[in-house]
Chains A and B, each alone.
Chain A
Amino acid sequence: MSSGPRAASLFDPALIKPAIVESFRKLDPRVQIRNPVMFVLEMVALVATVLMVRDIVGGAKGVGFTVQIVIWLWATLLFANFAEAVAEGRGKAQADALRRTRTETVAKRLLGVSDMFEQVRAPELQVGDVVLVEAGDTIPGDGEIIEGVATVDESAITGESAPVIREAGGDRSAVTGGTRVLSDRIKVKVTAAAGSSFLDRMIALVEGAVRQKTPNEIALNILLAGLTIIFIFAVASIPSFADYAGGAVSAVVLIALFVTLIPTTIGALLSAIGIAGMDRLVRFNVLATSGRAVEAAGDVDTLLLDKTGTITLGNRQATAFLPVRGITERELAEAARLASLADDTPEGRSIVVLAKEKHGLRGMEMGELKARFVPFSANTRMSGVDHEGAVIRKGAVEAIIEHAQGLGIGKMIPPDAERIANDIARQGGTPLAVSRNGQILGIVHLKDIVKGGIRERFAELRKMGIRTVMITGDNAVTAAAIAAEAGVDDFLAQATPEAKLKLIREEQAKGKLVAMCGDGTNDAPALAQADVGVAMHTGTAAAREAGNMVDLDSDPTKLIEIVAIGKQLLMTRGALTTFSIANDVAKYFAIIPAMFLAFYPQLDTLNVMSLATPQSAILSAIIFNALIIIALVPLALRGVRYTPGGAAALLRRNLLIYGLGGIIVPFIGIKAIDLVVSAVGLA
């Protein structure tokens, strides 16, 4: 996981200063109107200010109290703006770093068949243009390599300093504008117009410029607006109730009560929570095309994973030499090693490695061996060497049997060869027969190696309530064995792109949200169909377009972090909403007795906090209401802790902390502020 310059500390002075300036700029009602609660607060603060001016001009009594209330109303608003500005500031810092990499690039646009090119500025490139990129050049735009192979430094995007290989054809053909070719030369077909490239999208994303409210955020905003309206009713009816009781309540006090009741705490922090959530995702090196996708990740029920490269290491490896009766293991290992020396496939190399590890067989290059290498062909389905008159072959069991019979030397096919081969297949491995001069020596066990630690990752997903399904082209027997070893919940064997799509649709029809990781072009339809499609950054452009997230580290198990971030985002909103509403209980107990004391002295019994005077009670409540916002900014930016586990346990914990805590904390806080306020003599 790379972090580097991306993880700015919470209260970095470099972020604080512009955030303070920004807090004032955000007082513009056109900005505030996007957040109903804060907009109402601003309108009410304006009214209070007008009343204050009237009182000052009219020389009314007790104007000092009014001035203090008005100051704290504006402070509440500024604190809310500050929270949002800090969250945005952190994104801006990252965006600036990205922007520096997007310096003016000059592209070499190819003119036709030959390597003739003209120099154009990168923004002038059109989709479909083919450009030449040579060692040292910056790739001018997103595209697909159509010719050549190169090492590319992608640290600008991924933060990963080790260069990566990009080549034409296959699943490693996509390149990103702004990255640099270190060696060789490639021809790239441009796939994204200037302004809509990956880098542009990334900058816009971390800056929060394109931030749209997510569905749950919209729903929560409606809830908060509804509560605000309820409190309008509750407060607006007080003057006539007071009038009936033969008293009066000043407008400033009513405004103070109203502001403390409406959910300003969550209202103030709502957008900061959203921005910080996206920011956390970016720091995990995942880019989401929308906040909606991040929220959906929190809801995922089923996760589809490709076997190869995700659950297992990319290739099969030799794990055992199993000789037939009468042959020693060393004999088999030696023959297998010879047959594989010139074999450049990962399987071949793993046989050489195993022979060295187990039997100390080493040395000798093909050159000094004076042997003739017989490469693998689809026709014979085997490969091998002709060495000092010996014909050594390895390949699929049936192919080797056919080969042995074909040599016609009349050697018996060892009866145990087939038994060994079947055993291996049952364990999910691939049997590879080895023969010398038509005599079958034994079987090499090629095995899919399950990645270390993957089992624990799946267990964690299960605790989150997510079912994992492995997708593989293997037959069912092999797939079942690997699925059991890796600890996935289910598997789809002999999967075709259509079968994948069908599986996703079936899961969705059952009411489940499906996430899928993929990199190949043939994954694109499934990525698009899945509710959360995470494309690997190393994947093809088609896959990256189809998904709604891109993982820059190309780590499929990253989904665990993505899910956790999605959940954290929702939990933080829910927890602060609960806290905000629970706070109101204490605020009522502070303000109601103070408000009505003049005409119903018996209501002093409700003053359970024994606040010094009615004025100090009201002032303390409004100061608490403002300060709690600042106090909760770190939590809003960091997010509520998420530990995988049952929903009931999570809820119990959060209700205890934010619900019960939300009721108790303000009683203590308001009392403490009241002590200070009355000690200093503010009211």
Chain B
Amino acid sequence: MTVNGWIQILVFIAIVVALARPIGGYLDRVLEGERTFLSPVLGPVERGFYWLSGVKPTENQSWWAYCGGMLIFHLFGFALLYGLQRLQGMLPFNPQDMAAVAPDLAANTAMSFATNTNWQNYGGESTMSYLVQMAGLTVQNFTSAASGIALAAALVRGFARAESRGIGNFWADLVRVTLYVLLPMCIVLTLFYVWQGVPQNLSPYVEATTLEGGKQVIAQGPVASQLAIKMLGTNGGGFFNANSAHPYENPTALSNLVQMLSILVLGAAMTNVFGRRVGDERQGWAILAAMGVLFVVGVFITYWAEAGGNPLLTALGVDPSAGNMEGKEVRFGEALSALFAVVTTAASCGAVNAMHDSFMPLGGAVPLANMLLGEVIVGGVGAGLYGMLLFAIISVFVAGLMVGRTPEYVGKKIEAREVKMTMLAILCLPLVVLGFTALATVIPAGLAGPANAGPHGFSEIFYAFTSAAANNGSAFGGLTGNTMFYNSTLAVTMAVGRFAMIVPMLAVAGSLAAKRKTAVSVGTFPTHGGLFIGLLVGVVVIVGGLTYFPALALGPIAEHLAMLAGSVF
């Protein structure tokens, strides 16, 4: 580890924290339907959408109406994307003449993008036409991100409102977030990436002659526009197979910084929206601080593991000061590769600028752990906040009992119904992660996937289902995922990881909104201080640790200890 590396990491964290409040303020205004500086331009467009679709934006939906709207919307999104992939051969903007995508892969990809996962069992430049990239994948990138923010806003309203029947209007939230937040920011980011050298065209691929005289096909396409939302919406699906390690998708150190920032910026700002809504911004900072603690620890471990290099290679006389550079881009180095890996898995993005499969066992364990904890370290846009708030409910429940009061969080009593729904939401993840991993590690179709043997192969399978369930979408690499078995099981995993969690989460929102606010007294446990932050971190780590300890022991831990004993896989 170098001082330079840490300075880069700390500068990055400082910018994220500095942006949380101003952007949070803007998001809050947008979500409440208040006027912003963009209203004169976008107001008519917004009203046009409502008029076209017959939506009454002021209608206050009950949690199940909100939930129903969200589910139907994504069902249509799924169907649309599936259709586009299957029909791409007959549709325009297909200069490379891509054929129809196979049904299982199309279904997997459609589910992947509808759930904000962006798990990719395909290589973008060799599978998808420009039309599918633009009208299919990029559109889903926008809508799944907007929907995530909307859902978090609904839960925040549950905490903020008192004796209210509804938790807001899904359609209005969706339109407002897309129109006032995602679209303008993406236009700016796209222009920035184009300036940095990212292509934005509809040209056919270019054939080049290399210095050795060989032929190389260089892929083209509308990359910058897809890249902007891929990061901002924590989607992570690369335009190219190599994702943000590809020089066209992440050309410079500056583009790398902006990509990492845009992964975390909206998620961090949502914590501030929560604070503002419940009338005490410190509540938001406390949540962000708990995320920050987990984040910094993750970065430290990964950076330490990667900068240390492989002891087996060191024993063979390789200079350890170079660290472990396998699978990393030289223009990013260990510090920024480690940081990117933690950022992208902390935030349910899944874009990568290095190959996680090539990380040291412990370095690779951190991205895995980030996802296993439920993507609550800033997390996916919106999803991170509602995931963390569910953990806050559990923390406050146990802590509240310990101070001798019926547990309450930001003025809302946490009772049987909230605990029940929260536990249901938390249970979804281990069910699909452990269930499908257990299945894949015994049946031949599953065992055909991993490229490596032993604990490392186990990690590849485990990572895939974890990434899908957490709606992250990053791949450990090494796993051949484009098979009937993995396409279908991963699609189910992604659907459960997203929607099976959202339904009980919205039930919590509805139940909280209907409650009255309780007054704060000396006997109320303060949820904005260090004690609460520590407690929340502890609960997240212990619940996650207890759930996955056996699997982690058989994967990265066994691999790490084996490496120390001199064997690799």
Contact = CB atoms under 8 A, between A and B. Distances in A.
Closest 5 CB pairs of A and B: A574-B401, A567-B404, A226-B423, A465-B523, A465-B522
B398 A578 contact: yes
Contact of A216 (B401, B562, B564, B565): B401
B5 to A, nearest CB: 29
A570 B438 contact: no
B523 A647 contact: yes
A577 B521 contact: no
Contacts of A242: 554
Contacts of B549: 234, 588, 592
B522 A646 contact: yes
A571 B402 contact: yes
Q: Give the bracket for the number of chain B residues in contact with chain A.
A: 35 or more
22 contacts: A215-B406, A216-B407, A222-B423, A226-B424, A229-B427, A234-B547, A241-B550, A299-B405, A466-B523, A467-B521, A510-B519, A511-B518, A568-B404, A570-B401, A570-B404, A570-B406, A588-B549, A605-B561, A647-B403, A654-B402, A654-B403, A658-B402
A567 to B, nearest CB: 3
Given A574-B399, A574-B400, A646-B522, 20 more contacts: A215-B415, A230-B546, A233-B431, A234-B551, A236-B438, A237-B550, A241-B554, A244-B458, A245-B455, A296-B406, A465-B524, A466-B521, A511-B516, A566-B404, A570-B402, A574-B401, A582-B542, A646-B523, A647-B405, A652-B531
Interface stretch (A45-53, A346-354, A596-604): A596-604
Contacts of B546: 230-231, 234, 261, 581, 584-585, 588
B460 to A, nearest CB: 11
A301 B543 CA distance: 33
A77 B461 CA distance: 38
A575 interface: yes
A219 B415 contact: yes
Q: Is the interface of B mostly helix, strand, loop or mixed?
A: helix
A178 interface: no
A239 B441 CA distance: 10
A220 B458 CA distance: 36
A642 interface: yes
A463 interface: yes
Contacts of B424: 226
A301 B402 contact: no
Interface in B511-569: 516-519, 521-526, 529, 531, 535, 538, 542-543, 545-551, 553-554, 557-558, 561-562, 564-565
Nearest to A223: B419
Nearest to A467: B521
Contacts of A603: 553, 557-558, 561
Contacts of B523: 301, 464-466, 646-647
A512 B550 contact: no
B416 interface: yes
A659 B517 CA distance: 29
A612 to B, nearest CB: 20
Interface of B: 162, 394, 397-407, 411, 414-416, 418-420, 423-424, 426-427, 430-431, 434-435, 437-439, 441-442, 447, 454-455, 458, 516-519, 521-526, 529, 531, 535, 538, 542-543, 545-551, 553-554, 557-558, 561-562, 564-565
Contacts of A578: 398, 402
A238 interface: yes
A571 B419 contact: no
A216 to B, nearest CB: 6
A242 B522 CA distance: 51
Q: Is the interface of A mostly helix, strand, loop or mixed?
A: helix
A648 B404 CA distance: 11
Nearest to A645: B522
Contact of B402 (A231, A243, A464, A650): A650
A584 B407 CA distance: 24
A295 interface: yes
A296 B434 CA distance: 40
Given A241-B554, A647-B523, A234 B405 contact: no
Given A223-B423, A241-B458, A511 B519 contact: yes
B405 A230 contact: no
A220 B407 CA distance: 11
A94 B405 CA distance: 29
A606 B402 CA distance: 32
A238 B522 contact: no
A240 interface: yes
B423 A243 contact: no
Listed residue (B442, B519, B548) with the most chain A CB atoms within 10 angstroms of its CB: B519
A233 B397 contact: no
A327 interface: no
B406 A295 contact: yes
Contacts of A570: 400-402, 404-406
A577 B542 contact: no
Contacts of B554: 241-242, 244-245, 596, 600
Interface in A632-647: 642, 646-647
A224 B110 CA distance: 37
A648 B525 contact: yes
B550 A238 contact: yes
Contacts of A225: 423
Interface string A462-475: 11111100000000
A31 interface: no
A299 to B, nearest CB: 5
Contacts of A568: 404
A571 B516 CA distance: 24
A592 B553 contact: yes
A647 B416 contact: no
B551 A241 contact: yes
Given A233-B435, A647-B524, A650-B404, A606 B557 contact: yes
